[in-house]
Amino acid sequence: MKGKVLAFSFAAAMLSGSLWASDAKSPSSALTAAEIADRNFAARGGVQAWHAVQSLSESGRLTAGGDQRGTAQLPEAPGTKKPVNLKAITAQGRLKEEAQLPFTLKMERGRKSRYEIQFAGKTAIQVYNGSQGWKLRPFLNRVQVEPYTAEELKSAALQPDLDGPLMNYTEKGTRIELDGQEKVEGRDTYKLKLTARDNHVTHVWIDAQTYLEAKIDGQPRRMDGKEHEVEIYFRDYRDVNGLKLPFLMETHVLPLAPEKGQKRSAASYSAEKIFIERAVVNPTLNDKEFEKPTMQAAAVHP
């Protein structure tokens, strides 16, 4: 999940719905955007329950790679169950073959996150404290902790907080609209368009039966010198402390849209999957976990 993709849930303080949400009826739906959001909040466990969530930790496995293009670049999506052959990593840090690795993700309100992945006998780390970010990539023989690039900082700042982009959307100055209905993996969904205060647009697809998120736009990914659209799918929802969390998230990097008169590229990009094996609501986290990491933290302890 982004994401590192995170657990999504949405709050329903819709007193100003007529101000921020489109109340016009869609020809294909009797529900407004605000009403769909309301049902989503209830399906995810309720507003008050999510307001009480201050931190969240998840652990499990990541999969990535599987073709020569290597859609994922470590440490964003590495992994293998068998011992990793470093010769299988390209000069750009990509995996030639699909692999799986254990990961842990710790999050705290204010968009704080600490992401650790065990790979090749060492631990890759990404830390973001809400304003600054650092990365440690020992499997590439990087001997120093590196700061986030300007592009990485921008991407981190755009990530939703613990409970997703719809949470308290009126307070954030986000406008939501119903942008039609579409099929997602054979199921009917409502497509919601979210326009943030800075005019950044995100789309969220809400299942028409469960009212849980089925898909969301991901941050565009630069590959081969060009930006590709990204889609993130949510599956296998489970109850955790009365909240609904997806235990499987799958990221798809899309081929470039064809130019007029041309066909879409047939280039294949393997899906990147996140399997959650354990999720803990409101774990006690140490503030130091969101500080600049050290090289010593890269060692994998038995």
Smallest Cα–Cα separation from 11: which of 55, 49, 43, 47? Answer: 47
Between residues 248 and 78, the one the model is more confident about:
248
Which is more confidently placed, 89 or 150?
150
Residue 139 binned pLDDT confidence (cut-offs 50, 70, 90): confident
In a domain? residue 93: yes
Query: What does the DSSP assignment read for the chain?
Result: -BTB----------TTHHHHB--SPPTT-S--HHHHHHHHHHHTT-HHHHHT--EEEEEEEEEE--STT-S-BTTSS---SSPP-GGGB-TTSBBSS-EEEEEEEEEETTTEEEEEEEETTEEEEEEE-SS-EEEE-GGGT--S-EEPPHHHHHHHHHS--TT-TTTTHHHHT-EEEEEEEEEETTEEEEEEEEE-TT--EEEEEEETTT-SEEEEEEEEEEETTEEEEEEEEEEEEEEETTEEEEEEEEEEEPPPPPPTTSPPP------EEEEEEEEEES----GGGGSPP-GGGGBPP-
**Does residue 260 fall inside a structural domain?**
yes
Q: What is the pLDDT of residues 203-230, one digit of tens each?
A: 999 999 999 999 998 877 777 778 788 8
Closest CA to 253 of 221, 206, 300: 221
Query: Is 220 within the bounds of a domain?
Result: yes
Q: Does residue 223 sit within a domain? A: yes
The reported pLDDT for the residue numbered 66 is 56
- pLDDT for 297 equals 60
Give residue 130's region: left, alpha or beta (phi > 0; psi -120 to 50).
Answer: left
Structure tokens at 252: 């798809």
**Domain annotation covers residue 10:** no
> What pLDDT was estimated at residue 258?
65
pLDDT (0 to 100) of residue 271? 81
- Within 10 angstroms of residue 198's Cβ, the number of other Cβ atoms is 7
The residue type at 188: D
CATH number of the domain within which 190 lies: 2.50.20.10
Q: Please check whether residue 6 lies inside any domain of the structure.
A: no
Taking the C-alpha atoms of residue 193 and residue 205, their distance in angstroms, rounded to an integer, is: 9
Q: 27 near 262, Cβ under 8 Å?
A: no
pTM of the model: 0.76
Chain segment 15-56, per-residue pLDDT in tens: 223 233 444 344 456 899 999 999 999 999 998 999 999 999
Cβ neighbors of 199 (< 8 A, separation 6 or more) are none
Give the residue numbers spanning the domain of 205: 17-298
Q: Is 142 a member of any domain?
A: yes
**Domain-located, residue 139:** yes
Query: What total of structural domains would you count in the chain?
Result: 1
